[in-house]
Amino acid sequence: MKVLRTPDKHFQSLPDFDFEPTYTVIHDADGTELRIHSVDIGPRDAEPILLMHGNPSWAYLYRHVIKGLIPTGKRIIAIDLVGLGKSDKPAKRSYYSVERHLDWLTKWLETNNLNNITLVCQDWGGVLGLWLVANYPERFSRVFATNTTVPIGDGGNKVLRIWQTVMKWMPCFPWKVAFAPSFQSKTLSTEEYKAYLAPFPQWKYQSGIMQFPQLIPVFANNPAVPIFKDAWQKLGNFKKPFLTVFGTHDPITKGEEKRLQAHIPGCKGQAHERLYKIGHFSPEEAPELLVERIIPFLDVN
């Protein structure tokens, strides 16, 4: 498997992102070495808060959330999924599958031996992160979910179906059409926009973000459906605190918070909330609001 690595020069002087990089080396099932990046700050013996992003963002999405959580004294980890951010990028779209993403994340989790985790997850960070919760519940203390879900092949919604179809034929990621306009309550500055694009200086680095839409198990014939149906069933036994804080103006995950609340026992009695006029990328649009809700949730048992 051929692997690309975005040169460090593309990450220099990004606005509000002055964190030292941390790298974990794992190996793919075929033996290929992969380097996974994370922001990792705070005491190593403190309980970790694991921040997981979606597509096509990276740890930069959580920059303000990270800084807002520093006063908690917790260990704060914002991982870059393989193929995104500062993590290594397998060169071909065919290299990416749900099974591989889960294998890479499992190896990363076990290598770092994280326990007592508070998971904060958005988009694919929840799709993959909640699979980890379902299969390694002993490692997680609580979950804070924002604009994410566990798709199980039931058809999804119209916007998601259109997105998957359009992306199947796109030669490169439509940043100006699909990403920049998706923010509801703010407009990215020129420098912020460039920071999101920093991991992908050329088309050849985009295989991971181009393949992600095709991996979503929207329809029943998707090969990942059994994987996520199994995870969904297991989450039906997750009784630890589970809080949903969703943006109201997200067409991708509209209504999914209710589905999570109805199925997962840990959602019962939690202070679930919908953030008015916030879209899909809530950590970018409303980091202060998320921090205000994450911090008291850390004491919920």
Active-site amino acid positions: 123, 250, 280
Look-up of token digits 């205000």: 292
CA dihedral 168, 170, 175, 179 (to 10 degrees): -30
Residue among 6, 3, 2 at smallest CA distance from 202: 6
Query: Residue 19 — left, alpha, or beta (φ > 0 → left; ψ -120 to 50 → alpha)?
Result: beta
Sign of the dihedral through C-alpha 164, 37, 119, 49: negative
Residues ≥6 apart with Cβ < 8 Å to 190? none
CA–CA separation, 53 and 75 (whole Å): 17
Measure the CA angle with vertex 290, ends 238 and 68; round to 5°: 115
Residue among 218, 90, 69 at smallest CA distance from 151: 218
What is the enclosing helix (H) or strand (E) of 245? strand 242-247
The residues facing 122 across adjacent strands are: 146
The residues facing 118 across adjacent strands are: 49, 142
What is the enclosing helix (H) or strand (E) of 243? strand 242-247
What is the enclosing helix (H) or strand (E) of 41? strand 33-41
Residue among 128, 32, 36, 106 at smallest CA distance from 77: 36
CA–CA separation, 203 and 10 (whole Å): 14
